[in-house]
């Protein structure tokens, strides 16, 4: 009878130890999964931040390029207008006689 009770106690202790062991293992697995999930979320956040940074830089570069070419376009328009105005003045002055101040009066 004592051996049966000892066997029952050993069996219960073994089951108790197995249950505690399984709980510790599940707890450790849960901790590791939480850690991995946190790391994945942090990585996703870094990726999103980097992506946004690249988009901002790309937008800034596009803006700079647009501004550069708008300025060049305006400069060309001013140059063309000046050339056109100069040409129009030459055309309008062709029919007029131009006398130089150094020319003699009886010429």
What are the pLDDT digits (tens) for 7-53?
Answer: 999 999 999 999 999 999 999 999 999 999 999 999 999 999 999 99
Query: CA 82, CA 22: separation in Å to the nearest integer?
Result: 89
Q: Does the CA dihedral 45-50-51-55 come out positive or negative?
A: positive
The tokens 């790309």 sit on which residue? 58
Report which DSSP code applies to 98.
-
Determine the pLDDT at residue 104: 53
Determine the pLDDT at residue 98: 53
Query: CA 56, CA 54: separation in Å to the nearest integer?
Result: 5
Residue 62 vs residue 103, higher pLDDT? 62
pLDDT tens digits for 43-68? 999 999 999 999 999 999 999 999 99
pLDDT at 99 over 60: no
Q: In which band, very low, low, confident or very high, does the pLDDT at 94 lie, cut at 50, 70 and 90? A: confident
Give kind and range of the element (H or E) at residue 13: helix 2-93
Residue 94 vs residue 52, higher pLDDT? 52
Determine the pLDDT at residue 92: 84
Q: What is the mean pLDDT of residues 64-79?
A: 96
Largest Cα separation within the chain, whole Å, is: 156
């Amino acid at each position: 009878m004592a051996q049966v009770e000892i066997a029952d106690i050993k069996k219960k202790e073994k089951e108790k130890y197995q249950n505690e062991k399984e709980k510790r293992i599940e707890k450790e697995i849960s901790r590791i999964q939480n850690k991995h999930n946190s790391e994945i979320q942090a990585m996703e956040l870094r990726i999103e931040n980097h992506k946004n940074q690249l988009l901002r830089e790309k937008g800034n570069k596009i803006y700079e390029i647009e501004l550069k070419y708008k300025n060049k376009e305006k400069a060309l328009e001013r140059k063309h207008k000046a050339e056109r105005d100069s040409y129009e003045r030459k055309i309008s002055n062709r029919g007029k006689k131009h006398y130089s101040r150094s020319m003699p009066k009886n010429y």
